[in-house]
Structures are given as structure tokens and as C-alpha cells.
Structure 1
Amino acid sequence: MGKHLLCLFFILLSFDSINSYLMPPLFRKFNVEIVNQLEFHKILRVHCKSKSHDFPITYLNIGESFQFKFTIFPKTLYWCNLWQGPNYKHYVVFAAFRPDKDFIDGTCTGMHPNVCRWTAKEEGVYVRNKKFEGEYFMYTWDAPSKTGKIPPVNAPSSESELDSSI
């Protein structure tokens, strides 16, 4: 009986290794962090959400950060809207987290330390990436609208809509 349990243990261990190599680490904890490194004392307005969770709008002074934790499920998708103060005319909308291995390991820093850190700077939004041993430029600020109004924070109806908007 002990040999069978030992064999089952090694089979499950090898399956977990294959699974973690080929697939995203489902049902594990992950973090997204947004950091304000804008210049000239600009406040960063942050609104992140998923289809099932809508975080309140947060205002970050220079050097402050907003972080949220969640469990990775097969359809987990978080996107964030950032606006540059003081007039909040410049903004960007981007996918802050996708549940695929390429995004977790390629865009973010992988499961160790299991955080995707996005930094808002004057030029745009950067992501901390271990492949580049530092921050990697990802998104530029959108030009201000003619009306000067803050664009609405609507959830994209699909991932493809989110991809086409950024």
C-alpha cells in the first residue's frame, strides 16, 4: 500500500510540474500594484476592475501605490484606468492582469514574487519585468480630449475590445 501511495505522490508531483510549466498557476494568489512616479506633484487617479469586482477610485500622491490581491481563475481579467492630475485629461486604459502564462511570465515578473507592478511616469505606463531587469515601457498617455471631460470607466465587453482600445 505504501508503494502505491508513493507512486501516486510522484505522479501528482510530475503533473503539477507539467501543469505549472504549460498553464497559468490557477487558484493561486496574485497581486497587481499601481505606483505613482509622475513629476511635478501630479496626482494619479486609479480605477481598476474586473467583471466581478470594481475597486473604488483611488487618488495617489507621488510615491504612493495602490495594490490589490486576488486568486487566479481561468477567466480572471483585470483592467485599470489611470488619469494624470491635476486636470485628469491624459489617461490610459490597459489590461493589468490576464490569466495566461505568457502574460504572467512575459509581461509581469512571473509567480515569484507573484506581483505585476505598473508604474505611471510622465512618458506613460511601465511594467516591472525580470527579462529586461527593470521597467519596460508599455503604454503612452492618450491625448487629451477636446471636451476636457474625463472619459467614462466602462468595462470592455471582451478581451478583444480591450486589445483594440489600447
Structure 2
Amino acid sequence: MMNPMRKQYPDTTFVVTITMILLIMMTAFNKQSSYFAEALLEEQMVQVSNGVGPGTTMKIYCKSGDEELPVKYLGFNEYYQFSFRILWRTMYWCNMYWDNKIHSIKAFDVDRRDNELCQSMCFWKIKRDGAYLMRELDHGNSSRRGYVKLYSW
């Protein structure tokens, strides 16, 4: 029989359990997931530039699973830039058209760890032979930024 003088707090066990789970999760947070947690607070930017060649206009259309961005037409060395906040499964695709051909890239993919590799800005250069992403290039004791080809067509 319960003591009528003792007040029961049924939610206390739940709160203590959730608190313990959160503490365990915070302790288990590794470096990669802390990058992701920091990225959630920042705005991510993507810039795609037309490096196809002089006199070639590139049509570009980008979208995510829940957002369609406006179609843009870029002259040589012009760029298109958009921004967003990173969520758990954030991914943006871009389709580029020139010379009656279509070329597609994943402009941002959180699973590819772009939030770590690009920091707050992903720079893409689209060329006739493929798509290049600006990355840190490690050269022994030093590093510098340069474009790395991620897509070939």
C-alpha cells in the first residue's frame, strides 16, 4: 500500500533516464560528429562557376530533396551561389546544360562530409572534361588549396 503522505513523481524517472542518455551521447561524441554539430549552426554556401570555355553559356538548375532553386544562365567565368543550413541528410544536386548535353553533380552531400571538407563554402568549377571541387591539398609539410576533379564526363 502506498503511503498517502508521500507525493509520487512519475516523470522524475523519465527525466533522469533521458538526462543519463544525453550525457552518455555527449561523452561519446567524436571529432567528426562535433564538426557536424558545429556545422548545424552555420550557413553553408555553394558556388558553381562556368569554366567550360569562352563563348559558352551554361544553364544551371540546382535542387535538394525539398527545395528547388531558380534556373540560371552563366557566361564564361560567371558563377551561381546559393546557401542553406545543414540538416541530417542535406544534399543538393545541380544539372548543367551546354552544347545540348546535360551534366550532373552532387553540389553538396553531408554524407560525403562536404561540411568538413568545404568548411562554410564549396567552390565548384565546371569544365568541359568534368567538375572540380576546391580542396585542401597536402604537400608534405605544407598544404594549399586547389581544385580536384570529382566528376568526369
| Residue 98 (structure 1) aligned to one of 84, 109, 113 | 109
Q: Does 1:72 align with 2:72?
A: no
The match for 2:135 is 129
The alpha-carbon deviation at position 102 of structure 1 amounts to 2.8
Q: Does 1:31 align with 2:31?
A: no
1:100–1:27 CA distance, 2 compared to 1 (3 A):
farther
- RMSD after superposition: 2.4
The match for 1:54 is 68
Unaligned runs of 5+ in 1: 1-14, 142-166
1:50–1:101 CA distance, 2 compared to 1 (3 A):
closer
Distance 1:35 1:73 in 2: 25
Moved over 6 A (4+): none
* SS of residue paired to 2:115: helix
1:103–1:61 CA distance, 2 compared to 1 (3 A):
same
| Greater strand fraction, Structure 1 or Structure 2 | 2
CA contact (8 A) 2:47 2:121 kept: yes
* SS of residue paired to 2:110: coil
State the TM-score, normalizing by the size of structure 2: 0.68
* SS of residue paired to 1:130: strand
Distance 1:101 1:95 in 2: 10
CA contact (8 A) 2:89 2:111 kept: no
The alpha-carbon deviation at position 20 of structure 1 amounts to 7.9
Bigger radius of gyration among the two: 2
Letter in 2 for 1:69: S
1:128–1:32 CA distance, 2 compared to 1 (3 A):
same
1:138–1:101 CA distance, 2 compared to 1 (3 A):
closer
Matched residues, percent identical?
26
CA contact (8 A) 2:105 2:131 kept: no
The match for 2:124 is 118
- Aligned length in residues: 119
The alpha-carbon deviation at position 137 of structure 1 amounts to 0.7
1:62–1:76 CA distance, 2 compared to 1 (3 A):
same
